[in-house]
Amino acid sequence: MKKNRNISKKTLFLYFNIPFILVLLFRVNYNDTWFLLNHGRYILNNGFPSIEPFTIHNNFSFIMQQWLSSVIFYLSYSILGKYGLLLITLIVTGYIIFISYKLCMLLSDNRSKLSILISVITVTLLATFFITSRPHIFTFAIIITELYLLEKYIKENNTKYLYFLPILSLLEINLHASMFFMLFLFLLPYLIDAFKYKIGPFESNGYKKKPLFIVSIIMLLTGLINPYGILAITYIFRSYGVNSINSVVSEMAPLVINDLVGKICLVIIFSIIFIYIFYRKNNFKTRYFLLLIGTIYLTFSSYKGLAYLLIGGILPLAYYLKPAFRKDDIKDKEKSYKYILNSCLLGIIGFLIIISTNSFVFTYKYKEGIDYLLDNNKPSDITLYTGFNEGAYPEWMGIKCYIDPRAEVFLKKNNLKEDIMEEYYLLQIGKIDVSSFLEKYKFSYLLVPETDYLYDNMSDVDNYKIVYNNISINEFSVDTYNEKIKYKIYKRIS
């Protein structure tokens, strides 16, 4: 028996390391990270902008909806370089593991093995698909913390846990304003469940409603405490459900059931539903059922919605699977926290090893091409055509570009001038004449990868010539992810 127990300890310890290993391998998003760094640097040097400062477009109204995340990433980058970005991602991942485990322990009535299983599965899937150097890692941490505080409030009938919710609201509106209302989507099932009722298989014993509704109003009002006021709160309503964005930005596209990610989503959804049905005692907990239905809808709406299904669908399984696991004694509970601490320490060791071996790759696919431009021009003299994925790094280097990965910035509803996102989308599907488009903007240079429509459609354009032709290597920390990409740089000659 003693031998089996030791094997179990080692196994549990290894489980907690899986998300850290995934983050250490390849968790920096190149496209978004450069514009986040650019935002952070701008804020610290110039304050909060109201006019978009980085592109060729004039007088675009602008809300820097991720300003606090940008400052955090920029400061970490300015102190530790690329390793600062990795360190921030590791720290947030460690917290997500910790708070997920705490939530599962609460839902499962202190069943540590069940809590480890559920929290590790959840965070491993998050790390596989979503945890990277982007603001949504803070959103994940905040939402799971919100669920933990709400469950503590219900279980202990103590309003003190609700006092922290406005703080989460304040953090979210400044870290990632476009996801501010996600807090309320996860709060809504708890507001409904506060009423006592029984409708078919759904029932609730109810709990104190007044404090919960009051704190919801306070959370909404707290959201006004940001540099852009109500414009930041309503940002999401001007930025989502747009066809041009859904067509260009892969993570915003509706779920496709026939591809690999779609099949993974279906397996996750049906597995959760099976557990909900098979392991329920008599009735469903309404709040968990509503969380599941709501996050399934988000998943089918866009690929990025899967992250919220992992949080709102998988973590509550700790409640339903309680009968399959024994309750811990005090010593078991204490040991489980040691596993988490040891895993965090191992993550730090892995981070130090990566620093010492310089094995972490953080670059830009077309860096050599941008270096060529900067060797022959001042940044201020360049107006550069880039596609959606290519613009962030040149802007970081001081070059004004046509478009970049901040899709919602280029919507007329946000910039109040012109729908550049729609124009770019129509260009990429051949609905806009190339010569007319180039004449409109008179770019001094064009950066054209082989994935861009212009790559094979410049034959009728006489006033641009190729000055740089190369193959870039799309490098990740894992060599097997290397990808060769052809691209050209054109210069305007008349």
Give dist(CA 48, CA 46) in Å, integer.
Answer: 7
Q: According to the model, what pLDDT value does residue 170 have?
A: 98
Give dist(CA 461, CA 454) in Å, integer.
Answer: 10
Residues of the chain under the 70 pLDDT cut: 1-18, 20-31, 281-283, 328-363, 472-484
Three-state secondary structure call for residue 237: helix
Q: According to the model, what pLDDT value does residue 13 have?
A: 56
**Domain 367-492 in this protein, CATH class:** alpha beta
Q: According to the model, what pLDDT value does residue 480 have?
A: 38
How far is CA 252 from each of CA 118, 121, 234, 248, 308, rounded to the nearest angstrom? Answer: 27, 24, 19, 8, 14
Q: According to the model, what pLDDT value does residue 401 have?
A: 98
Q: According to the model, what pLDDT value does residue 475 have?
A: 44
**Amino acid identity for residue 151 in this structure:** E
Q: According to the model, what pLDDT value does residue 287 have?
A: 92
Q: According to the model, what pLDDT value does residue 113 have?
A: 83
| Phi and psi torsions of 153, nearest 5° | -60, -45
Residues of the chain with CATH 3.40.190: 367-492
Cβ neighbour number for residue 213 with a 10 Å cutoff: 12
- Please say whether the beta carbons of 59 and 417 come within 8 A: yes
Burial zone of 250 (CB within 10 Å; 0-12 exposed, 13-18 middle, 19+ buried): exposed
